[in-house]
């Protein structure tokens, strides 16, 4: 029982029980009482968040199921943001899902199963558990993308997501199989020890395994050149599902990258460090340059995600050659801070899109936001904060996130031309600022395209307000969250 350590997996246990209860109970809930399943889902998320917060206060790293599952500070911070993103997704989905007749138990249970897969991946300390979490998350998301069965583009997006997601899973699985063949173990910490002790860093199977693992991680992050699924799936999926895909799975992909590359393949860091740098630069170029030409808001946010992941990868690769554990923790903490604040701003942006969408109207085009400031000034302000954050404009939190990434990059002593790379990153951020600020211009300076009134449910209004204020306040006083992320990474690296 000590090896099982059910306390370490308490958040996942709560989510699993809630997802099963919602799925079964919804069979007996009348159509007019769907809010019961919704309330139960939010209660389960709150309970899981409380469990994660309590585990974050623990001074030691905990293991469960014979070391296959790890509960460390990094995992708890990522889980808290994943739970927050999923909760926002369910709250924001109300009007949209009701108008399109999929405000049902399937939506709630699949969202909870997606989150369960995300949290399993975040805490996986074993190659097999990483793959199980990945499949749980992916299969639930495939079903969610296809929720609108009568919509052709939704079906097309689900098929593309399924085929390319299976390809990415195959890359990861093939890399894992070669890694197992080279080291003879599935345990990530043991993999690192055997690579270092047996001096097999130059073994061809290990190098090939690293290439396939980086490619699979690139797919899951949506980094170029493995980005081809992102814009089509973002545009074709129901908007609440797009919100979910754009937030929580990115946190899981970051965790998998850390577990596999930093914790498992540290002895061959010189190889994957350059791969991540190349992915980062290509993602910055492809994402930002292509987003400029988009008129569809969801598609634009899809391409912008590619650029955002490029920025995060810059911090990720900077931790390799920092020289000390503290400098590495600073770089990885910057990457964690960046991906967390990216998720927060992205959720707010999609929340406004969902607010504007009504029956028969998707509000997907940038032009659909015309004159929002004159109709609903507060919602326009929240959207502006989200755009400023993603663009890296103060006082939104995205500015500080980009700043700490650049600081981590400039502290890199691996021999790469960090100043040139930082300049390139800043230039592409300026390109990105154009299409983000274009959205703000449409909201504030274009005449409204319609005059009909619209509003949100009280809990949606509260969530949007909290979301927008968080983006602003964390930009003004980012020290607490940044300290939490850096401290979590330091305790994870030394634990």
How many other C-beta atoms lie within 10 A of the C-beta of residue 34? 19
pLDDT band at 4 (very low <50, low <70, confident <90, very high): low
Instruction: Please give the residue that has the higher pLDDT: either 415 or 399.
Output: 399
Q: Which of 201-210, 413-422, 424-433, 445-454 has the lowest mean pLDDT?
A: 445-454
| C-alpha closest to that of 359 among 99, 139, 131 | 99
At residue 469 the predicted structure's pLDDT band, cuts being 50, 70 and 90, is: very high
C-alpha closest to that of 130 among 293, 310, 263, 300: 263
> Are 258 and 292 spatial neighbours (Cβ–Cβ below 8 Å)?
no
Q: What is the mean pLDDT of residues 318-344?
A: 85
Among candidate residues 408, 396, 402, 390, the one with its CA nearest the CA of residue 486: 408
For residue range 360-373, list pLDDT tens digits in order.
678 888 998 998 89
Residue 466 has pLDDT above 50, yes or no: yes
Q: Is 410's pLDDT higher than 60? A: yes
Indicate if the pLDDT at residue 78 is higher than 50: yes
Whether the CB-CB separation of 101 and 18 falls below 8 Å is answered with no
Question: Dihedrals φ, ψ of 71, to 5°?
Answer: -115, 100
Query: Residues 83-94: what's their mean pLDDT?
Result: 94
For 343-356, what is each residue's pLDDT tens digit?
Answer: 999 999 999 999 98
94-122 pLDDT per residue, tens: 888 888 888 888 899 999 999 999 999 99
- The closest alpha carbon to 302, from 372, 375, 221, 363, belongs to 221
Q: What is the mean pLDDT of the chain?
A: 90
Closest CA to 348 of 474, 485, 221: 474
CA 304 to centroid of chain Cα atoms? 13
pLDDT at residue 15 tops 90 = yes
Q: In this predicted model, what pLDDT tens digit does every residue of 248-284 receive, in sequence order?
A: 999 999 999 999 999 989 888 888 888 999 999 999 9
Residue 396 has pLDDT above 80, yes or no: yes
What does the pLDDT read at residue 200?
Answer: 66
pLDDT at 327: 82
pLDDT for residue 49: 96
What's the confidence (pLDDT) of residue 21?
Answer: 93
**C-alpha dist (Å) from residue 51 to 6, 22, 47, 203, 466:** 12, 20, 6, 42, 22
Cα–Cα dist 111/370, whole Å = 32
For the cut 80, the answer to whether the pLDDT of residue 453 exceeds it is no
Which of the residue ranges 147-156, 209-218, 441-450 has the most confident prediction, judged by mean pLDDT?
209-218
* pLDDT of res. 203: 78
Confidence category of residue 9, pLDDT binned at 50, 70, 90: very high
Percent of the chain with pLDDT strictly greater than 90: 67
Of the chain, the percentage scoring pLDDT greater than 70 comes to 95
């Amino acid at each position: 029982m000590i090896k099982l350590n059910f306390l370490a997996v308490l958040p996942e246990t709560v989510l699993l029980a809630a997802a099963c209860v919602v799925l079964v109970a919804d069979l007996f809930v009348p159509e007019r009482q769907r809010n019961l399943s919704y309330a139960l889902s939010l209660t389960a998320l709150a309970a899981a968040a409380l469990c994660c917060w309590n585990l974050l206060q623990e001074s030691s790293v905990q293991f469960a199921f014979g070391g296959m599952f790890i509960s460390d500070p990094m995992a708890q911070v990522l889980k808290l943001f994943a739970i927050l993103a999923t909760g926002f997704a369910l709250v924001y989905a109300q009007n949209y899902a009701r108008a399109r007749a999929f405000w049902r138990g399937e939506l709630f249970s699949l969202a909870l199963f997606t989150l369960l897969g995300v949290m399993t991946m975040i805490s996986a300390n074993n190659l097999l558990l990483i793959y199980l979490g990945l499949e749980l998350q992916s299969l639930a998301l495939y079903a969610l993308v296809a929720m609108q069965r009568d919509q052709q583009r939704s079906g097309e997006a689900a098929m593309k997501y399924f085929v390319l997601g299976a390809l990415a899973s195959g890359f990861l699985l093939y890399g894992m199989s070669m890694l197992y063949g080279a080291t003879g173990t599935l345990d990530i910490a043991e993999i690192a020890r055997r690579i270092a002790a047996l001096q097999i860093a130059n073994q061809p199977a290990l190098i090939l395994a690293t290439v396939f693992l980086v490619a699979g991680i690139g797919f899951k992050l949506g980094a170029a050149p493995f980005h081809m699924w992102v814009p089509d799936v973002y545009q074709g999926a129901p908007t609440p599902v797009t919100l979910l895909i754009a937030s929580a799975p990115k946190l899981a992909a970051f965790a998998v990258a850390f577990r596999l590359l930093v914790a498992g393949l540290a002895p061959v860091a010189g190889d994957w460090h350059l791969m991540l740098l190349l992915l980062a630069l290509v993602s910055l170029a492809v994402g930002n340059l292509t987003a400029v030409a988009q008129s569809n808001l969801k598609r634009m946010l899809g391409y912008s995600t590619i650029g955002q992941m490029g920025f995060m990868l810059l911090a990720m690769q900077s931790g390799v050659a920092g020289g000390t554990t503290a400098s590495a923790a600073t770089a990885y903490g910057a990457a964690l801070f960046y991906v967390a604040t990216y998720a927060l701003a992205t959720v707010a942006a999609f929340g406004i899109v969902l607010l504007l969408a009504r029956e028969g109207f998707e509000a997907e085009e940038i032009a659909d936001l015309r004159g929002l400031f004159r109709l609903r000034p507060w919602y326009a302000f929240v959207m502006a904060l989200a755009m400023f954050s993603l663009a890296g404009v103060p006082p939104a939190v995205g500015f500080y996130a980009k700043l700490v990434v650049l600081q981590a990059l400039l502290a890199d002593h691996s021999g790469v031309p960090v100043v040139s790379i930082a300049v390139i990153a800043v230039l592409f951020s300026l390109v990105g600022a154009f299409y983000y600020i274009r959205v703000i211009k449409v909201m504030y300076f274009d005449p409204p395209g319609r005059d009909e009134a619209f509003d949100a449910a009280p809990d949606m209004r509260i969530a949007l307000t909290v979301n927008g204020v968080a983006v602003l306040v964390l930009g003004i006083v980012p020290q607490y969250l940044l300290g939490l992320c850096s401290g979590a990474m330091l305790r994870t690296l030394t634990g």
